[in-house]
Amino acid sequence: MIASKEKISHLSHLQCWQCHRCYPADRVISTATCEKCGNNILLNMYENLSGVTQQDIDIKTRSMWRYFSMLPVFDKKNIVSLGEGFTPILSLERLAKNIGLERLLVKDESSNPTGSFKARGMSMAVSKAKELGIARCIVPTAGNAGGALSAYCAKAGMEAVVVMPEHTPAVFKKECLLYGAKLVLVNGLISDCAKRVAQLNQDNEYFDMSTLKEPYRLEGKKTMGYEIAEQMDWKLPDIIFYPTGGGTGLIGMWKAFNEMVEMGWIPPRLPRMIAVQVENCKPIVETWLGNQENCKRYSGKATIANGLAVPHPFGEGMIIATLKESQGKPMSVSDEEITSSLREIAKEEGILMAPEGAALLTALKKSLLENSVSQNETVLLLNTGSGYKYLEGLN
């Protein structure tokens, strides 16, 4: 149960994404299927939004927790924070000029604790786990999520088990061990790691932090949407390019935008969302094009962009719904194109992006050639992490 009865946030209940069945907000929800439709994705829903204003932002807090009133933790004493969020939006003026775009921006998540945006989701999920009295967590990961869970569990005094592909670069493995997590290696992709997590957690001994199989990581990721709006003076970009593996950030930002529209913080003109995948693993693209009914039988391969090697994204339905609602689309690029873009961004702008983030530049260039992006539109790239962890894999 909740550690304190004082309710500070506006969280009202949890709700099934598919059938909208409601569940109480003060219970442990972990890989629990909806009793009505069997869907696993439960969303945090908030009440009395009309009474929440921009003045409710805690401007003294220089982290994602400045938006506490729109987050699911009830008592601030349960927050487990390492200073995540409130990352900069930078102008890519040289690249914009090179490709003929008037305004090109990047939301750079590399300054987050553990070097990626995964810190947001894990800070939120571990904070809520603490509030609910949970002490042991487990996660399948392609790399960054494992490091983030390990760090936040260390901060909270919790136990962490991380299940990771064997081929993951050594730096991701070392950081988990340094934070005191138990590391389990699997021959395969993150989908194979998820199967191993299910085996290890047959007795529900751990709180499963798998992407979208718990309802709290999404709430941490949605703070990127709130920050983009606030940092751009409540005027959103025309287009957002987002590297999409599990898709939690894409879905989370879209949720944030719609919450802000409901509260009257921003007008209802929202960005087109472009989901960028890699040629070696592009299940969303294949489903979007009608080449498969869904991703359940899709077979992916490893890629330099570890975070995009997600062959069976659990939130596929919500990802596609977001793309349709925003009038966006999915795209894919090759490993070779990612490496080329990573080098170009570093040389032109002095930013060493993660391969997942670098993939966005290639996708943007293709969009300009296809005339699906206009030169006078404001484009924002969402760089999910630091490229320093990936250096050993670059040729």
CATH of the domain at 185: 3.40.50.1100
Q: Residue 236: which domain range?
A: 89-116+217-393
Residues forming beta bridges with residue 274, ordered by sequence position: 241, 329
Residue 1 has pLDDT above 90, yes or no: no
pTM beyond 0.75, yes or no = yes
Residue 309 has pLDDT above 50, yes or no: yes
Looking at the structure, tell me whether residues 112 and 122 fall in a common domain: no
Looking at the structure, tell me whether residues 320 and 198 fall in a common domain: no
Give domain status of residue 307, yes or no. Answer: yes
Give percent of the chain above pLDDT 90.
88
The pLDDT confidence band at residue 5, using thresholds 50, 70 and 90, is very low
Helix axes 223-231, 248-263, angle to 10 degrees: 60
Mean pLDDT value across residues 198-202 = 94
- The reported pLDDT for the residue numbered 385 is 97
Q: How far apart are CA 381 and CA 277, in angstroms?
A: 14
Mean pLDDT value across residues 179-201 = 95
Residue 111 has pLDDT above 80, yes or no: yes
Give domain status of residue 166, yes or no. Answer: yes
The residue type of 135 is A
The pLDDT confidence band at residue 2, using thresholds 50, 70 and 90, is very low
- The reported pLDDT for the residue numbered 49 is 84
- The reported pLDDT for the residue numbered 211 is 86
Give domain status of residue 26, yes or no. Answer: no
Structure tokens that stand for 295 in this block: 């991703």
Q: How far apart are CA 226 and CA 228, in angstroms?
A: 6
Give domain status of residue 296, yes or no. Answer: yes
Last residue of a domain, one of 208, 231, 257: 208
Give domain status of residue 294, yes or no. Answer: yes
pLDDT tens sequence across 367-377: 999 999 999 99
Residue 189 has pLDDT above 60, yes or no: yes
Comparing 103-107, 120-124, 311-315, the range with the smallest average pLDDT is 311-315
Q: What are the C-alpha distances in Å from 176 to residues 136, 147, 154?
A: 15, 5, 10
Last residue of a domain, one of 155, 173, 208: 208
Where do runs of H (alpha helix) occur along 232-354? 248-263, 283-288, 316-325, 335-349
Q: How far apart are CA 231 and CA 254, in angstroms?
A: 17
- The reported pLDDT for the residue numbered 48 is 82
- The reported pLDDT for the residue numbered 30 is 61
pLDDT tens sequence across 254-282: 999 999 999 999 999 999 999 999 999 99
The residue type of 298 is Y
Looking at the structure, tell me whether residues 380 and 308 fall in a common domain: yes
Q: How far apart are CA 274 and CA 363, in angstroms?
A: 9
Q: How far apart are CA 74 and CA 66, in angstroms?
A: 14
Looking at the structure, tell me whether residues 200 and 253 fall in a common domain: no
DSSP class of residue 32 equals P
Q: How far apart are CA 371 and CA 365, in angstroms?
A: 10
Residue 7 has pLDDT above 70, yes or no: no
Q: Can you say whether the dihedral through the CA atoms of 344, 389, 303, 309 is positive or negative? A: negative
The pLDDT confidence band at residue 3, using thresholds 50, 70 and 90, is very low
**The pairing of beta strand 11-16 with beta strand 22-24:** antiparallel
Looking at the structure, tell me whether residues 277 and 161 fall in a common domain: no
Looking at the structure, tell me whether residues 348 and 367 fall in a common domain: yes
pLDDT tens sequence across 20-40: 999 998 888 765 578 888 787
Give domain status of residue 302, yes or no. Answer: yes
Looking at the structure, tell me whether residues 357 and 298 fall in a common domain: yes
Looking at the structure, tell me whether residues 279 and 361 fall in a common domain: yes
Looking at the structure, tell me whether residues 296 and 238 fall in a common domain: yes
Closest CA to 115 of 140, 141, 144, 139: 144
The residue type of 233 is D
Q: What are the C-alpha distances in Å from 358 to residues 66, 118, 147?
A: 29, 17, 21
pLDDT tens sequence across 349-386: 999 999 999 999 999 999 999 999 999 999 999 999 99
Structure tokens that stand for 129 in this block: 């786990």
Looking at the structure, tell me whether residues 227 and 358 fall in a common domain: yes
- The reported pLDDT for the residue numbered 386 is 96
Looking at the structure, tell me whether residues 281 and 346 fall in a common domain: yes
Give domain status of residue 264, yes or no. Answer: yes
DSSP class of residue 297 equals T
Mean pLDDT value across residues 387-394 = 87
Q: How many domains does the chain have?
A: 2
Q: How far apart are CA 322 and CA 87, in angstroms?
A: 24
Last residue of a domain, one of 177, 208, 239: 208
Looking at the structure, tell me whether residues 125 and 228 fall in a common domain: no
DSSP class of residue 36 equals T
Give domain status of residue 51, yes or no. Answer: no
